[in-house]
Amino acid sequence: MKIKRILAGILAVSTVFTATACSGGGDTSTTTSVPETTTETTIDDEIDNPVDIGNISIDAGEEVEPATLIYMGNYDLRTAGDIKPAYKYFQENYNCDIEVTIVNFLQILEKLTAAISSGESPDLVDYQDNVFPLMMSKNLYTPLEDVMDLSAPQWSGLEDYINKFKWNGHNYYYPWSYDVSPYFLIYNRGLFEELGIDDPKELYESGDWTWSTFKECCQKFVDSQEGRLGLYGAGQYSATSFIDSTGTPLLTIEDDGTLVCNLVNADVERATTFMQDLYKEGLAGFAETYMDVSEQPITDGLNAFQGMGGWIITNYAKRMVAAEKKGSSMDIFFVPFPRDPNADDYYYSMSTFGYLVPAGSKHVEQASVFINCCRLSVTDDALAETTKESIMKNKKYTDEMYEFMQQFKDVEKFSCIVDQPYGLDDNTATIIKNMLGAVLFNNVEDYLDMSWTQLREANSGAILQQVDYYNGLIKSGNSAS
């Protein structure tokens, strides 16, 4: 039942894909059911993670009328470790509050459309895979150019990235969080040391972390004991990371907003060949009965690496704390995906996270102030320090984990690839995810043992049709009906 494993993983990863924010929710990553909409209005984590914004002073915008904003999403942003300080500042200094309506990510489009149509629009929703261009083309959001100031210090150096997500000449999305390496390779560093395998973190820091050295680590791990495997994890995002490391994304966003599909590209072909070779050589695959989101293959020494979003690191950090309390030790760490040795630079798959203001929102100015508060929690020294304390209490990172992750938040220090292959529409996104899972893990029943060329030929028509559709909308200045 290989297809069930990958579909469960797609659901789990998508549930927490919203960059840093959802990871504050701990084990919600394994929830794949679709609950009814619920509204939550209480804060219950003040004992575990009290946040004092004290004498911090930031300029998040002009004074606004007091209001209670409605956030629609799949987690409580008021208690997420990396957002709570911004929320508290917004609450105490702008005399505003946020009410949270919990909606499973699979229902966001349906619930948001219904709320807007009924005149009950929320004021904040998350950015997620299908926002650009699918949801943006449906006129579901409010343009923010009139209330957001790109010349403000907190937005310095980000204009090009923000403009990547323009639709019909308008900026709807001002990401406050930027992850140069949103997906990591997690590994059992303690076990690697026991087996005499080079530490991937040290290889990365010395500039020697490449496809070749990654493959060598996998091979040594697999050879160390019968039954051990190399890479497992989220196939689609792991595959995207390998492809982007060539410097060529699957889907390029041009300066005029048009999309270019790179399915037929020598760099993409080379990356997919490398991934298929991993599988054929026994260096990529799942330990029996374990899904891509399971931490057991790493902690139990079954797999060398797990390719997964950075959200899962808090789960490992909590496991390390639990092990220490029991008198044992566990040393889990992580590195970015390796560098393509044939590329002219080290290219990273960048992701962004932030909030959009739905069409019909009654509190656009207040929502823009909250977005500014979130961005300032990264750029303002005092608020950033408070945010660090909140994250450390909430997510249980070690200092080494936190400092290593933080270096990948500064987009100006890295060569970043913006790749948007999952936003065309839900059907096309599923096609692409299954293609990429198949090319890396050969675990999609309809695509078993197919080469990348065969996968591409079988699916490129549907993908290119959607690209052409959106490019037609962009060139005509229209939106989808």
**Which residues touch 42 (CB under 8 Å, ≥6 apart)?**
none
pLDDT of 35 above 80: no
In eight-state DSSP terms, residue 146 is T
Q: Which fold has domain 183-349+418-476?
A: D-Maltodextrin-Binding Protein; domain 2 (3.40.190)
Q: How high does pLDDT run on average in the chain? A: 89
d(Cα 311, Cα 22) in Å, to the nearest integer? 7
Higher pLDDT, 474 or 68: 68
332 bridge partner residues: 188
CA dist 287 and 302 (Å) reads 7
- Provide the pLDDT confidence category of residue 376 given band limits of 50, 70 and 90: very high
Closest CA to 196 of 220, 178, 175, 214: 220
Strand ranges (E), 310-369:
332-336, 347-353, 355-356
Cβ proximity of 207 and 262 under 8 Å: no
Domains 39-176+359-379 and 183-349+418-476 agree in fold: yes
Architecture in CATH of 39-176+359-379: 3-Layer(aba) Sandwich (3.40)
* 336 bridge partner residues: 184
Q: What's the rounded mean pLDDT across residues 361-388?
A: 97
pLDDT-based confidence at 380, cuts 50/70/90? very high
A 10 A CB-CB count for 216 gives 15
Please return the burial class of 102, using the count of CB atoms within 10 Å of its CB with bins 0-12, 13-18 and 19+. middle
Rounded distance between C-alpha atoms, residue 291 and residue 286, angstroms: 7
Burial 282-295 (b: 16+ CB within 10 A, else e): ebbbbbeebbbbbb
Q: Which two tokens stand for residue 90?
A: 């917004």
Q: Which residues does 341 contact at the CB level (< 8 Å), separation at least 6?
A: 210, 211, 212
Confidence of residue 27 (pLDDT cuts 50, 70, 90): very low
Question: Which sign does the torsion angle of CA 244, 186, 237, 411 carry?
Answer: negative
Residue 174 is which amino acid? Y
**What local confidence, expressed as pLDDT, does residue 44 receive?**
55
Tokens linked to 146: 């009139």
Residue 240's pLDDT is 96
pLDDT in the model for residue 481: 61
Residues facing 231 on adjacent strands: 284, 305
- Distance, in Å, from the CA atom of 208 to the CA atom of 371, rounded to the nearest integer, reads 38
DSSP label at residue 80: S
Higher pLDDT residue, 23 or 396? Answer: 396
pTM over 0.75: yes
| Lowest-confidence segment of 6-10, 114-118, 281-285, 425-429 by average pLDDT | 6-10
**One-letter amino acid for residue 302 of the chain:** L
Q: Decide: helix, strand or coil at residue 3.
A: helix
Structure confidence by residue, pLDDT tens digits, 305-349: 999 999 999 999 999 999 999 999 999 999 999 999 999 999 999
CA distance linking residue 371 with residue 141, whole number of Å:
15
Looking at the DSSP assignment, which residues form a beta bridge with residue 352? 178
Cis link prior to 182 (omega < 30° from 0)?
Answer: no
Cα 247 from Cα 237, distance rounded (Å)? 16
> What is d(CA 453, CA 341) in angstroms, rounded to the nearest whole number?
23
Residues shown for the chain: 481
Distance CA 26, CA 42 (A): 18
- Domain ranges within the chain, ordered by starting residue: 39-176+359-379, 183-349+418-476
Determine the Cα–Cα distance for residues 38 and 73; give it in Å rounded to an integer: 10
Indicate left, alpha or beta for 355 from its phi (over 0: left) and psi (-120 to 50: alpha). Answer: beta
Closest CA to 440 of 430, 452, 422: 452
d(CA 185, CA 174): 28
Of 477 and 347, which is predicted with more confidence? 347
- Give the closest residue to 346 by CA, choosing from 179, 210, 217, 195: 210
364 closest CA partner among 215, 87, 145, 159: 145
Average pLDDT over residues 225-241: 95
